Amino acid sequence: MIVEYRNINLSFKEIEIFKNFNLKIENGEKILLKGKSGSGKTSLGNFLLGFTQPNSGEIYFQNELLNEKTIWKIRQKIAYVSQDVDLDEKKVMKIIAETFEFSGNKDKKLNKKMLKNLLKKFRLEDIILEKNVSKLSGGERQRVGIILSILLDRDIFVLDEATASLDKELKAIVANYFSEINKTVISISHDKEWEDTNKYKVINIGDDKDGQ
Ligand SMILES: Nc1ncnc2c1ncn2[C@@H]1O[C@H](COP(=O)(O)OP(=O)(O)OP(=O)(O)O)[C@@H](O)[C@H]1O
């Protein structure tokens, strides 16, 4: 098992989002979190990354309890892509190169051949590497964020509406790509292309508040 949410409770004011929510995710599993807007999907991703905490309950990552001591180590094992990929306003290649200089990524080496292949797979021209991020369209920026997350070669992907800015064809390409890789994937998406692959275990959030 790679991730376990145990007895998670979350509420804001009088609104209960999770009541004794439980979910186990196996190594290599492909998970699609679905549910109405406001059902708590993003919160589940945020708990795992330590961005926010539930009111009560525990989260385990590779059998280790997530807390303020373990979160930094755990975060380095997670590749996170959000809807609004937040990249510095620099040349794309510079951002990629600098990402590999962070202390947390020091054990990883930029695979340039893989980068070229990924650009091609996600329909980007090589010239994009020389462009400033501020000049990219939303869909281009989103794909650069996805490519960067893949290059980091981490254990698990948390993809929060990672295909929202892409056209139909690209949504399908990205959803297919993640369905076939040898990693654990948690995707939060309203895009039907993820489910269309038939490779993701669909978890409906909010249907049954009293645990799953
Ligand atoms: N810090 C906060 N303060 C108050 N309410 C919050 C906070 N964080 C989340 N919420 C509320 O918790 C609920 C769940 O939010 P969350 O973003 O996890 O839902 P979601 O299922 O990802 O929604 P969407 O599909 O719209 O992105 C929402 O009603 C949201 O307004």
The residue to mutate among 33, 42, 84, having the most atoms of ligand 1 within 8 angstroms of its beta carbon, is: 42
User: 112-121 vs 138-151: helix axis angle to the nearest 10?
Assistant: 140
192 Cβ contact partners less than 8 Å away, ≥ 6 residues apart: none
Spatial separation of the C-alpha atoms in residues 132 and 62, rounded to whole Å? 38
Q: How many CB atoms lie within 10 A of CB 51?
A: 13
The tally of CA atoms less than 13 A away on the side-chain side of residue 209 is: 12
Q: How far is the CA of 41 from the centre of ligand 1 (A)?
A: 8
Sign, Cα dihedral of 116, 175, 139, 107: negative
Spatial separation of the C-alpha atoms in residues 154 and 147, rounded to whole Å? 12
Separation of first and last alpha carbons in the chain: 17
State the pLDDT at residue 14.
87
The tally of CA atoms less than 13 A away on the side-chain side of residue 111 is: 14
CB burial readout 19-41, b (16+ within 10 A) else e? eebebebeeebbbbbbbeeebbb
List the pLDDT tens digit at each of the 212 positions of the chain.
Answer: 999 999 999 999 889 999 999 999 999 999 999 999 999 999 999 999 999 999 999 999 999 999 999 999 999 999 999 988 778 889 999 999 999 988 778 888 999 999 999 999 999 999 999 999 999 999 999 999 999 999 999 999 999 999 999 999 999 999 999 999 999 999 999 999 999 999 999 999 987 544 44
State the pLDDT at residue 128.
97
State the pLDDT at residue 208.
58
- Closest ligand 1 atom to 188 CA: 22
Q: Which two tokens stand for residue 153?
A: 């070669």
Burial of 187 (0-12, 13-18, 19+ CB in 10 A): buried
- Ligand 1: residues with CB < 6 A are 12, 17, 35, 37-43
Q: Whose CA is nearest to atom 9 of ligand 1?
A: 43
Q: How far is the CA of 31 from the centre of ligand 1 (A)?
A: 20
State the pLDDT at residue 57.
98
